Structure 1
């Protein structure tokens, strides 16, 4: 997962400056968010903490050295004296080295990296949702602009026919009412689009005025559709960061039992130093060296309870993994069904669009000939534009489903390539 993200950032690094001055792609939005969002930065620091913990565990493979100073005062009936010394002591936990107790901490680092990928995934899904919402409002705005242009043209024709006596003023009023209703929809769409842009700006830690227009996805994205739920599930099972994180956590919990066993092995103590002995009856100052072994005997079941806790933790993580795997199966089925549904619906929508376009063209010519009413013309025009927008929205939703698959599998470089980066 990490190499893909690094490749994704490398692909976009050279294009970022140009994108901010033209159109902003989804890949660029993701890159900016991955670099600046607090949740991602927090995950990065968590990994640093895990790496420091691993180095701490590795340090336990070596003897712990300490320098001890001592002073003793002796009081006897005949005389008294003092004794002073300096000792260098070492305590080596043989179990840490023999059992490789730091292996669990190493797996925790990998779990932390997978968890960071999961944080990125959650953030990417939210950004993609907002991004496609903006694209949808852009489509809505284009459709409304087209309808308004057609109404303006029709209004001029209706006015000319009214002035010639071929039509009544009612046609003008109906057309004006339709135009006002259209302008209301434009206002609503404008504010809805502004809300999405403001949300995207916050997610990218930028001002809304600093965001350029978001870029569309090319039509060839639709050629990459996957409709096999099993294929999607296998992709998710292999690449989903949540599963990867749980796999590393399970491995770390299994290796934690090594650390528990390591604590039961003997500790080796070594020491050496110099004693300044003031005893007048002794031979004077002297040096000393020593070697000892400390063997754990009985800790009131502490290691047993630790092993039971580790085993319970492993079972908990395994059930979490099974639950997530079931959820991914559901997600794969939903994605496959949605993609299949959209592909089938789009075929019908294209046919419906062709019919409504022809009906509009007939209504347009028949209106001028006085064969249809103004209301019939307005209905035909609205139906044509609505069918056109429905097809465009379906295409956009199909693109959204494909992008969701790429996000769930961490295929960020492919998202960048789809928009020409």
Structure 2
């Protein structure tokens, strides 16, 4: 199914499966919602719940069956044909409660699909922003390598005319090798994280997958109040609604169990025709009959009482599940709120630190080129610059991720 879906996708965008398709975040999320195994598993559960609902509604209808019998013996031929129908008139309200219970179970299954889609969405957001972080790290690391190459080229020119010591040039070569190693590591990290996202999307191996880089990354944004997000989530998140519905399902289970104490009243009817043919002659007949049946429970060997007690237990368990879901959800939102606040503060600090270290690093490059700075001071400043760069990129995408996750609990987009 997934393989066919991606082939269709490639045809729609006019690309062969071997071409490198760039997916934006919205495309990744939409594709996962449609094709992810966990989501589709819940979707099949929803379809099962829907069929159970249809079956429960049909239980109100009368049954109808027919039969035909034909016997052949020597000098004897006997035939019989009948139609039978039956309808339950009263069963303590069991059927109506069962229909409502199955309807609520279907609604709960729908909410479960949405909750699973939300989980997959958050995973994709995290992977997507991580890859963007990796790619920006690689870009900056490439700039560092380019600078190191330029410094080494200048150093070798000075060495050729005897204006710099061989030791300094050797240090530049060593630094270039280290920078190239860091660049290779950054590029490998991109490949590994792309593979992880591709596997989460469950794309076939032959698809060359790449993500699109957005024009801007929002790392600074007004953080919605904790109270507002918690209130919205506790009233609107699908995992909460699902557990609320499960309580109603359990309560209807109790009502159904109590219906076991009530009598069942039903009517039935039969019409038929029969004939026989033997050596003595031909005979036939048509008959019809109707009946009413009343079944009164007297002693069920504790079956009804056990059903009621188990239904009460199910109600209590459903209530516990709802409380646990709400508690966990509120705690997670508070954690994401603090993460968003702290991440934006860290990003602001890292941005300033990177700005000043970059300025000092540029000055150090100029001084080294002019020969007014020694190699040790230059390499120390370069190390500080690389550290500030890494902290800045990490803080930038961490801030973007935390605010994205926090806002997702507010608007689920």
TM-score when normalising by structure 1: 0.81
Distance 1:145 1:208 in 2: 29
**Aligned position for 2:312:** 311
- Tell me the equivalent position of 2:395: 394
Gaps of 5+ in 1: 1-12, 72-81, 279-283, 413-421
In 2, Cα distance between equivalents of 1:372 and 1:177: 18
Are residue 271 (structure 1) and residue 269 (structure 2) matched?
yes
Higher RCO (C-alpha under 8 Å, 6+ residues apart):
1
1:339 alignment partner in structure 2: 340
Once the two structures are superposed, residues 204-236 of structure 1 have per-residue CA deviations (whole angstroms, 9 ceiling, x without a partner) of 232466344323345463354425332332232
1:48 paired with 2:44, answer no
CA RMSD, Structure 1 to Structure 2 (Å):
3.2
> Unmatched 5+ residue regions in structure 2?
1-8, 71-77, 277-284
Q: How many residue pairs get matched? A: 385
The 8 Å contact of residues 148 and 182 in structure 1, kept in 2 or not, is answered as yes
Q: Deviations over 1:138-161 (max 9, x none)?
A: 122112101001111111222233
1:365, 1:287 → 2: CA distance?
Answer: 110
Q: CA deviation at 1:322?
A: 1.2
| 2:223 pairs with 1:226 | yes
Tell me if structure 2 keeps the 8 A contact 1:67–1:87: yes
1:227/1:341 Cα in 2 relative to 1: closer, same or farther (>3 Å)?
farther
Partner of residue 418, structure 1 = none
Deviates more, 1:403-412 or 1:154-163: 403-412
Match of 2:137 in 1: 140
Is the Cα–Cα contact under 8 Å of residues 137 and 393 in structure 2 kept in the other structure? no
CA contact (8 A) 1:89 1:271 kept: yes
Structure 2 distance, partners of 1:277, 1:124, is: 70
1:325 aligns with 2:326: yes
Q: 1:398-409 to 2 correspondence within 5 Å?
A: 398-408=399-409
**TM-score of the superposed pair, with normalisation by structure 2:** 0.82
How far the C-alpha of 1:106 sits from its partner, in A, is 0.5
Q: Which residue of 1 aligns with 2:351?
A: 350
Q: What corresponds to 1:419 in structure 2?
A: none
Does residue 27 of structure 1 match 2:23?
no
Contact 2:67 2:83 survives alignment (8 Å):
yes
Conservation of the 8 A alpha-carbon contact between 2:62 and 2:85: no
